[in-house]
């Protein structure tokens, strides 16, 4: 007789070939084990379903605090770890900056002599003061662009 610890070790293995020519082992259940599992499921079906409902209900409601500082549901952890927000916040943490700082609230100095918030950049670029600065320094800006292109080449 096979002990409980070793019963899965002696089961036959079916090798399954996937499209990429990788061979993966797939365990085959013995007919007696399949019958026993089916019999147990039929006998305890209502209890197993209620336990699964409780588990799913609690699983959906669990909150997790990510290493980036966000709090989200456990069921959304997979999507969060692959999101742009998580990557951006982790990059800020590695750099030693506060991940809660928003880029749109940072003040930036412009070469025309004024300063603006990043959320108002488009508005500033369309302002009379900035356009006048560009017209006055058109030649200098073109020379800078040509020099940068030469440096790249």
SS3 13: strand
Whether residue 10 is contained in a domain is answered as no
Provide mean pLDDT across the span 74-102.
88
pLDDT of residue 38: 93
Q: Which domain holds residue 121?
A: 108-152
Count of domains in the chain?
2
In a domain, 57, yes or no: no
Q: Is residue 27 part of a domain?
A: no
What is the model's pTM? 0.40
Answer whether residue 37 is part of any domain.
Answer: no
**Is 103 within 8 Å of 91 (Cβ atoms)?**
no
For the chain, what percent of residues have pLDDT higher than 70? 82
In which region does residue 118 sit, left (phi positive, over 0), alpha (psi from -120 to 50) or beta (all else)? alpha
In-domain check, residue 4:
no
Opening angle at CA 124, ends 122 and 129, nearest 5: 145
In a domain, 30, yes or no: no
Q: Considering the domain boundaries, does residue 87 fall inside one?
A: yes
**Where do runs of H (alpha helix) occur along the chain?**
31-43, 45-61, 77-81, 84-95, 121-125, 128-136, 138-152
Examine the pLDDT at 5 and tell me if it is beyond 60.
Answer: no
pLDDT recorded at residue 113: 87
Residue 50 domain flag: no
- Residues 141, 113, single domain; the answer is yes
Q: What is the pLDDT of residue 8?
A: 54
Instruction: Report the pLDDT value the prediction gives residue 50, as an integer from 0 to 100.
Output: 94
User: Mean pLDDT, the chain, as a whole number?
Assistant: 81
What is the pLDDT at residue 47?
Answer: 95
What confidence tens digit (pLDDT) does each residue in 35-83 have? 999 999 999 999 999 999 998 888 878 888 999 889 988 888 889 999 9
């Amino acid at each position: 007789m096979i002990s409980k610890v070793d019963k899965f070790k002696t089961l036959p293995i079916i090798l399954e070939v996937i499209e990429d020519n990788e061979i993966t082992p797939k365990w085959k259940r013995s007919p007696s084990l399949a019958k026993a599992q089916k019999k147990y499921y039929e006998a305890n079906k209502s209890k197993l379903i209620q336990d699964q409902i409780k588990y799913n209900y609690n699983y959906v409601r669990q909150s997790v605090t990510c290493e980036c500082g966000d709090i989200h549901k456990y069921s959304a952890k997979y999507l969060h770890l692959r999101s742009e927000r998580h990557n951006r916040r982790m990059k800020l943490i590695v750099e030693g900056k506060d991940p809660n700082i928003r880029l749109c609230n940072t003040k930036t100095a412009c070469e025309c002599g004024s300063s603006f918030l990043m959320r108002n950049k488009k508005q500033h670029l369309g302002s009379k003061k900035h356009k006048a600065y560009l017209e006055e320094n058109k030649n200098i800006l073109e020379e800078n662009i040509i020099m940068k292109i030469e440096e790249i080449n």
